[in-house]
Each structure stands twice: as structure tokens, then as C-alpha cells.
């Protein structure tokens, strides 16, 4: 009997609206013995609802879209007691998570890899009542990840985030917060913070792949403190540009649980999607919560 596969497709994602590469992917899945059903998303939240309501009826789920679509799909799967393995055909404008996993950018190549059936366990982040796949961030440049218009992101890719981020420079300011990470407390003013499970953040920041293990129960925590003087600022910039995150006053840790407390308005970005400020944010690592088909 054929195995059943559900493709959740965001038709608006990506630099090209051509569906021919997806037809080729469907053909590859069919040849691998899958009976393929395709669902095109129609609105925000549709991928989550579809994965939650229908995911348990399939042997595999494949998400085709950008990181936001992937986030929605995984959010739906996390509601299931028995979660089918997930494949990813990256078609967004940045695809940070796909870059971390070396998933081919061509749908046919990615589909062929998925069809081979190799599984990779994946940690999932829980941010209060929501989930994230590869990053939860606050502070500088965070807004640019979710405020850049989709059509601009489709055309300009990473550059769109940089352009949108430049608009935030005038409002660049520190946020007072108390952060408790695996029992260690950081209390102060921060320009930026990220809890991630990825080697790439917005194409602007890279982490050493040796530091990032996707199923070790740990996130990588990076905090950028507010510089107190021009020398501090120079040291921070040099550390960021050289990608030496343990230098220049930066805080870099591997943590499984984090609590952030603040009395300020502190918006977040979860996989590039907006998350409103909360006085207390609890972040925990759901170790090996899903299996990826790679």
C-alpha cells in the first residue's frame, strides 16, 4: 500500500512564482512510493491548522515555503501526539534554517533527498505558548525580520532585511532585562539577544557549525550588551564582524532553558514572525521533538 504524503505549499513564497519545480518534486515523491496530497495555504495560520488537523493522517509532511511557513507547519505538528516526519522544500527569501541543514535550494534536489528517507532528530523551541524552529530574538534589527514587505523580500532576499534594519538605527536603544539562563543570571541593558538553533541568522550573523548541534537539547544564546563608551562599541562591532562571539564583551552560552523578565515594551521575532512583548518570557528546549527527512 502506498505511503501518504501531505505537501503544505505557500504559493506566495519565494523569488519565483513558478510551480513547475513543485510538479517535479511531486513526481519524485510519487516515484518513491508516496500518494501525494497538496494543500495550498490561503492565509496566515493556514499551515498550522492544516498540519494540526490533517497531519496525523499522513506518513510524512513536506512544507514548501519560507521559514515562516515552516514555523507554522511545525507549530501544527507539535499539537499532535504522534508526529509524522517532516521534509522541507525551501522557497522563501532567506531560508536560514535550510542553510544550516544544507538543504538544496532546488525543490527537485531537496525532494530527492527527502525521498531517501534519512531522519534527523530536531530540537524545537517553546516561547511561552508559541514555538520556534531556529531563532527567537529581541532588540536591534529584530523588527526588520517581520516588517519588510513580502514582495520586497522576494526580490531582494537578505538585502531587504538590511534595508529594513537601517530604518531602525535611529531608534536603536538598549532594553533593560533580567535573563536567567540555566541558572546563570545576566541583569542589565542589552541591544540585542537571540536564542537560536541555527548557523545563520538573517544572513547577517553566522555561527560556527561546530557550536550548533540541532538535537543536543541546547540552544545557542547570544546577548549584545549596551556599550558604555566608544571603546566598548568598537570591541562589540569587531567581535560581531569577525564572528568571535565570546569576545568583545558579548555573552555566548549553550543553554536549555531561559527566562527573560522586563518592565519595558520588548517585541520579539520568532523565525522572522512577530511576537508581542511580554513581561516574562519562558523559553525551553523541546529536545528531539520532531524528525526531519533530510
Residues taking part in catalysis: 273
Bridge partners, 194 (sequence order): 137, 222
Nearest Cα residue to 259 out of 97, 104, 108, 126: 126
Amino acid at each position: 500500500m502506498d505511503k501518504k504524503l501531505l505537501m503544505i505549499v505557500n504559493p506566495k513564497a519565494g523569488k519565483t512564482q513558478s510551480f513547475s519545480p513543485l510538479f517535479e518534486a511531486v513526481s519524485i515523491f510519487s516515484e518513491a512510493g508516496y500518494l501525494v496530497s497538496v494543500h495550498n495555504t490561503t492565509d496566515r495560520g493556514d499551515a498550522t491548522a492544516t498540519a494540526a488537523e490533517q497531519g496525523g493522517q499522513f506518513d510524512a509532511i513536506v512544507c514548501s515555503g519560507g521559514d515562516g511557513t515552516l514555523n507554522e507547519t511545525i507549530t501544527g505538528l507539535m499539537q499532535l501526539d504522534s508526529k509524522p516526519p517532516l521534509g522541507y522544500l525551501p522557497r522563501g527569501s532567506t531560508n536560514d534554517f535550510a542553510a544550516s541543514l544544507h538543504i538544496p535550494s532546488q525543490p527537485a534536489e531537496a525532494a530527492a533527498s527527502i525521498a531517501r528517507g534519512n531522519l534527523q532528530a530536531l530540537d524545537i523551541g517553546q516561547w511561552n505558548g508559541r514555538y520556534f524552529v531556529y531563532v527567537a530574538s529581541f532588540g536591534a534589527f529584530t523588527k526588520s525580520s517581520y516588517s519588510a514587505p513580502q514582495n520586497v523580500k522576494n526580490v531582494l532576499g537578505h538585502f531587504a532585511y538590511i534595508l529594513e534594519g537601517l530604518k531602525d538605527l535611529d531608534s536603536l536603544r538598549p532594553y533593560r532585562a533580567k535573563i536567567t539562563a540555566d541558572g546563570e543570571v545576566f541583569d542589565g541593558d542589552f541591544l540585542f539577544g537571540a536564542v537560536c538553533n541555527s548557523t545563520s541568522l538573517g544572513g547577517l550573523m553566522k555561527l560556527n557549525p561546530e557550536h550548533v548541534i540541532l538535537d543536543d537539547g541546547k540552544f545557542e544564546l547570544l546577548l549584545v550588551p549596551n556599550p558604555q563608551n566608544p571603546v566598548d562599541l568598537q570591541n562589540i562591532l569587531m567581535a560581531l564582524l569577525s564572528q568571535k562571539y565570546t569576545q568583545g564583551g558579548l555573552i555566548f552560552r549553550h543553554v536549555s532553558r531561559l527566562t527573560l523578565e522586563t518592565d519595558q515594551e520588548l517585541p520579539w521575532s520568532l523565525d522572522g514572525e512577530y511576537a508581542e512583548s511580554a513581561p516574562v518570557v519562558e523559553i525551553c528546549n523541546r529536545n528531539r521533538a520532531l524528525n526531519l527527512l533530510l
